[in-house]
Amino acid sequence: MPLDPAKKNSVLVAMVLLLCAAPLAAQNPVAAPLPAAVINAQKMFLGNAGETDNDDCLRAYNEFYAGLKADGHFQLVADPSAADLVMELHYEIRPGYVTGSSAVVDTRFARQFRLVLIDPHTRTILWSLTEQENNAIFQSNRNKNLDEAVALLLADFRSLHNGAYSAPIPASGKSRFGQ
């Protein structure tokens, strides 16, 4: 039985709308929920999973701890079993090479900081955040890059804890290799 022209036009319009909406839905997937333990945590334990004899590692750990404490939103506890969330701060050396703006740069001294968020009751890894530093030859520049990486990692964690986390976007003109 043939469709009358009005119904035919309605069907065509509906099909066009569906075809136009499909690519939009694919571009904007629904965001998965963040782990409730990350968002609801108030008592936190920060562990240093880096090299304890490395001054930069200890400095990063102390700066991250001080940043959490300065926020005033979290209670930092000394016992992981008393925490709602366990955080491990990892200090790592990136292997390989990174292509810079003018040449390939040796990354033997390139560092990254990874914050692993763990449920203290199940020992399940809930989330991981990583900030990588840009290379530097001079100690003053390495110090500046370390400070920047720790500040970015702290900002990433705050954003995640507030439920507003999105993948980091590099600042224009800067090389940022965060997760």
Per-residue model confidence (pLDDT) at position 68: 94
Query: In which residue are the tokens 């986390």 written?
Result: 165
Among 29, 10, 6, smallest CA distance to 18 is for: 10
Please, are residues 57 and 27 in contact by the beta-carbon 8 Å criterion?
no
H or E element: which one contains 70? Answer: helix 55-71
Give the range among 16-20, 78-82, 164-168, 169-173 with minimum mean pLDDT. 169-173
Q: Which fold has domain 36-161?
A: Rossmann fold (3.40.50)
Count, residues in the chain? 179
Residue 179 tokens read as: 């997760």
Per-residue model confidence (pLDDT) at position 98: 53
> In this predicted model, what pLDDT tens digit does every residue of 30-54 receive, in sequence order?
778 889 999 999 999 999 998 777 8
Please, are residues 113 and 88 in contact by the beta-carbon 8 Å criterion?
no
Among 155, 114, 117, 149, smallest CA distance to 135 is for: 149
Per-residue model confidence (pLDDT) at position 88: 96
> In this predicted model, what pLDDT tens digit does every residue of 74-108 receive, in sequence order?
899 999 999 999 999 998 876 655 545 545 555 55
Q: What is the pTM of this model?
A: 0.70
With 70 as the cut, is the pLDDT of residue 158 above it?
yes
> In this predicted model, what pLDDT tens digit does every residue of 94-150 receive, in sequence order?
665 554 554 555 555 577 899 999 999 999 999 999 998 877 778 888 889 899 999
